[in-house]
Amino acid sequence: MELRRPTLDDKATILGMMQEFEETRSAHDGGFWDTENFDYENWLLNNADAEMGLNIPEGWVPTIQLVGFEGEKAVGFLNLRLRLNEYLLQHGGHIGYSVRPSERGKGYAKAMLEQGVYLAISKNITKILVTCNEKNLASRAVILANGGVLEDVREGTERYWVQ
């Protein structure tokens, strides 16, 4: 499984993955799009801007948008936030991720988070906050498998630190 920035060549597989998230009404943490006005090419440009902290909505932080691939197939999203604001400190953390519904249970989330942690470290984020809903047992297991240490639970959000 390879975690990398999406490209124009990935359009068909990523659109297919987005459609699957929408059809199943599945949460797509780590992948953000406007279903009403989505344009893939603009999404790529917005991702590049967001990584540099340009043209991001007020209150948002610079981010790196990544997609997990198994061969040519997109299997998940991961979003690395390059710093924390108050909301992310309480609920979102540095890394958000989600795996395509049809690809869950195959170890992709664990591999994506592991690679996301290494990328965070390469960006000088040495204490990485990763969160999950207290009812999300699968995400908890992924975080623990990647060395997450529970700090506390706030309003139903478990907060783990990975170093």
Distance of alpha carbon 3 from alpha carbon 59, whole angstroms: 27
Average pLDDT, the chain: 95
Q: Which domains does the chain have, with CATH numbers?
A: 2-162 (3.40.630.30)
- How many other C-beta atoms are found inside a 10 Å radius of the C-beta of residue 117? 21
Q: Which of 137, 97, 136 minimizes the C-alpha distance to 119?
A: 97
Q: What is the pLDDT of residues 8-61, one digit of tens each?
A: 999 999 999 999 999 999 888 877 777 778 999 999 999 999 999 999 999 999
Q: Which of 98, 89, 76 minimizes the C-alpha distance to 128?
A: 89
Q: Which of 54, 81, 56, 52 minimizes the C-alpha distance to 66?
A: 81
Instruction: Specify the pLDDT at position 37.
Output: 82
Q: Which of 77, 128, 129 minimizes the C-alpha distance to 100?
A: 77
Instruction: Specify the pLDDT at position 102.
Output: 97
Give the Cα-Cα-Cα angle 141, 151, 30 (nearest 5 degrees): 55
Q: What is the pLDDT of residues 140-160, one digit of tens each?
A: 999 999 999 999 999 999 999
Instruction: Specify the pLDDT at position 33.
Output: 76
Instruction: Specify the pLDDT at position 29.
Output: 82
Describe the strand order of the beta sheet including 95-99 as a list of residue ranges. Answer: 2-4, 63-70, 73-81, 95-99, 128-133, 157-162, 149-154
- Partners of 93 in beta bridges: 130
Mean pLDDT, range 113-122, rounded to an integer: 98
Q: Which of 99, 87, 93, 27 minimizes the C-alpha distance to 60?
A: 87
Q: Exposed, middle or buried by CB within 10 Å (0-12, 13-18, 19+), for 141?
A: middle
pTM for the structure as a whole: 0.94
